[in-house]
Chain A
Amino acid sequence: MQAAQLEAPPRSRRALATAWRDAGVPTLATVIAFGVWEAACRLFDVPSYLLPRPSEIWTDTIEIGGTVAMHTLATLKTVFLGFLASIVISLPLAVALTTSPATAASVYPFLVWTQSIPKVALAPILVVILGANELPRVVITFLVAFFPLVISVATGLMSVPSELIELGRACRASKWSELVRIRLPYAVPFIFAGLKVAITLAVVGAVVAEFVNADSGLGFLIQTSTAFFKVPVAFGALIILSLIGVILFQAVVVIERIFFPWSSANSTAIL
C-alpha cells in the first residue's frame, strides 16, 4: 500500500512525459511549421495561386464547409468500400495461396499482373466496363490496396513455427481447426501490419479513381478547384486527405491494441 503510494507520483509523471512525447511534441512541431509557412508567405508576398497561406486555406475551405464535408464523405465511402473489399478478398486469397503450391503457382501470376497494371490507365477502361458510378472507384481502390494485405497475410500464415503445427497434429487437429485455431491467430500481427499499409493505400486509390471519374470526392474537388484557380481550396482538400490517412491508420492501430493486445505487444518485432 505504502509502496504503491510512493511509486504513484513518478509513474504518473512518466505517463505525462510519454503523452507529451507522443502527442504534445508532434502537435507543437505542426503548429510551428504552419506558423513558419504563414510568416514566409506574408514576408515574401507569395501569390496565393502559387502557395496559399494557411490562414487563407482555412477561411476559403470553411467558407464552402458544407460542400467540402459532402466531398469528404464521398471519399470516405469509397475508401471504406475499397478497404472492405480488400479484406474480404485478401483473407481467403492468402489462405488459398498458402494451402497448396499448385494454387499458389496458378494465382501468383494474376496477382503480379494486377499490380503491374498502372491503375490510372486502368480507371477509364473500368468506367467503360462498369459504368460511371461508385463501382469502378471501389474497384480501383481495392486494386491499389489489396496486394500488400494478401502478401502480409500469406507471410503470416506461412511463418507459423513448425512446432505449433506439430502441436496441432499431435492434438489431432483437422486442417480447418489448424487454420482457425493456429494459423490465423498466429498471423494476426501480420494481418494488422498489412491492414495498416492497405488503409493508407486505400486513400491513395480512392483519390486516383476520383481524378479519372467522379462528380464528388476530395480528388474531384482538387481537380475542379485548381481548374478555377481556387488553389487554397485544393490545399484544404489535400490537408483533409492527409488527415483522413493519419486518422484511419491510427484507428487500425487502436483496434489492434484493444482487440489483440498480444499482437500489438509483438508487432514492433514484425514491423
Chain B
Amino acid sequence: MAAGMIALEHVSRTFVSADGGRIEALRDVSLTIGRNEFVTLVGPSGCGKSTILRIVAGLILPSSGTASIEGSVIREPRPETGIVFQAPTLLPWATVLDNVLFPLRMMNRMSPDSAERARTLLKLVDLAGFEGNAPRELSGGMQQRVAICRALVHDPDILLMDEPFGALDALTREEMTLELLRIWSERRKTVLFVTHSIPEAVLLADRVVVLSPRPGSIARVIEVDLPRPRSFDQEGSPAFQGAARQIRELIFGQRHASRAA
C-alpha cells in the first residue's frame, strides 16, 4: 500500500446535544488510508460513520486527535475532496448541468472547458441528454448519479460518500454499485464509502473498516481479497462469504453481547 493519503490519529469527537448533554460519537479512532485505496466504513447506525466522513471532509473538527490529508491537518473543507451525501441534495432551481458545475462556481474555478468536462462526466454515468433537465424530472437513482458527477467535477483526489445509495431500491442500488466501481476503475481516487449494507461494503472495498457501537471506535479492519473487476457473481465465493460473516459477527455479536450484559 502506498503512503497514507488520509490519516486519522486518535480522533475523538463529542457533541453537545440540544438539552446540554454530551454525546461521545467517536473515541480514539486511528486509521490510515492509502492513495487510490477504496475503503468502506460499516457499523450500526449512530456509531459515528458520518462523523468520521464529516471530519475528513473538513465540515467538523475532531474534539481531540488530528485528521490530515497528505500530512497537512484538515481545518476546513478542502478543494481536493468531493462529497456525496445520502440524499442527492440537488439545487431544485438549477438544471442538471448547472448542478454538476456548482462546486466549480462556488470555488471560482469555472473555465471555458468546464461545461465540456461536466458533460463528459454525465456521459460516464449514462445521463447524456439530460443536461438541460430539472432535477425533479429525474428518478432518485438518476439524481444520485448527478450528485456523483457533482462530487467529481473538480477532479478531487478524495471521494467521500455517505450512504450514497441508501435511499435507492435494491435493483438500482446494485446497478449503482457496479457503476461506481466502473467509474473508479476509469478514474482512480481515494474513496471513503459509508454504508450499512454488508455485501455492498465487501464488494466495493479493498479494506472494510468495522466500527463498534457508540462511542464509535474501530472494531476491526478487514482486507478483502477478491480479484477486480468485481461483480455480484462473486457474492458466492468463499472469500466474500468469509469477509461478510466476519463483519456480521463483529456487528451483531457485539450487539448481542451488550444486550446480555
Task: List the interface of chain A (C-beta within 8 A of B).
Answer: 161, 163-164, 166-173, 177, 181-182, 185-186, 188, 260, 262-263, 265-266
Contact = CB atoms under 8 A, between A and B. Distances in A.
Contacts of A182: 91
B106 A168 contact: yes
A171 B77 contact: yes
Contact of B134 (A161, A172, A262): A262
A170 B83 contact: yes
Interface in B108-161: 134, 136
Given A164-B89, A185-B91, A170 B59 contact: yes
Contacts of A161: 89
A262 B92 contact: yes
19 contacts: A161-B89, A163-B87, A164-B89, A164-B91, A166-B85, A167-B102, A170-B83, A171-B102, A172-B79, A173-B106, A177-B106, A181-B102, A181-B105, A181-B106, A185-B94, A262-B92, A262-B93, A262-B134, A263-B93
Contacts of B85: 163, 166-167
A188 B85 CA distance: 24
Contacts of A168: 106
Interface in B70-107: 76-79, 81, 83, 85, 87, 89, 91-94, 102-103, 105-107
A172 B92 contact: no
A225 to B, nearest CB: 48
B57 interface: yes
A124 to B, nearest CB: 45
A182 B78 CA distance: 19
Nearest to B160: A170
Contact of A172 (B89, B107, B136): B107
A186 B76 CA distance: 25
Interface in B34-77: 57-59, 76-77
Contacts of A188: 93
Contacts of A169: 59, 77
A149 B90 CA distance: 27
Contacts of B83: 167, 170
A173 B79 CA distance: 11
B103 A171 contact: yes
A189 to B, nearest CB: 9
